[in-house]
């Protein structure tokens, strides 16, 4: 018996149905993470089809992060050439608030 909710063709999914499907995909991907790591490290091989299927499932539970952070929000009240030096310096000073990411170490070394 399948745990996947029955959905009629063309019917809109409820947020709960979408969440349940994502959770199911997450569980399947989670079970394969160690195997995928072994493939990346050269300890195991997958066929191209297996790799594509895993990638498709992974993208459903964790979309490409670069696509998530492409949006930039600009709140420009006036054109930069009309701003005072003090205003421009305040904007530039805010650039120091960017946090540097810590490098991730591989435990298998």
Mean pLDDT of 78-103: 72
User: Is 32:54 a contact under the CB 8 Å cutoff?
Assistant: yes
Higher pLDDT among residues 42 and 74, named by residue: 42
DSSP 8-class letter at 53: H
Any idea where the domains of the chain sit in the sequence? Answer: 15-97
Per-residue pLDDT tens over the stretch 15-44: 898 888 888 888 988 899 999 999 999 999
pTM above the 0.85 mark? Answer: no
Q: What b/e string do you get for 22-46 counting C-beta neighbours within 10 Å, with b at 16 or more?
A: eebbeeebeebeeebeebeeeeeeb
């Amino acid at each position: 018996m399948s745990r996947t909710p029955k959905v009629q063709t063309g019917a809109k999914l409820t947020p709960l149905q979408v969440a349940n499907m994502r959770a199911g995909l997450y569980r399947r991907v989670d079970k394969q993470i160690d195997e995928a790591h072994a493939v990346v490290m050269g300890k195991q091989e997958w066929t191209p089809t297996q790799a594509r299927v895993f990638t498709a499932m992974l993208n459903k539970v964790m979309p490409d992060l670069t696509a998530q952070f492409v949006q930039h929000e600009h709140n420009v009240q006036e054109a930069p050439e009309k701003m005072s030096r003090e205003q421009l310096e305040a904007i530039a000073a805010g650039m120091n608030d960017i946090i540097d990411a810590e490098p991730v170490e591989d435990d298998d070394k």
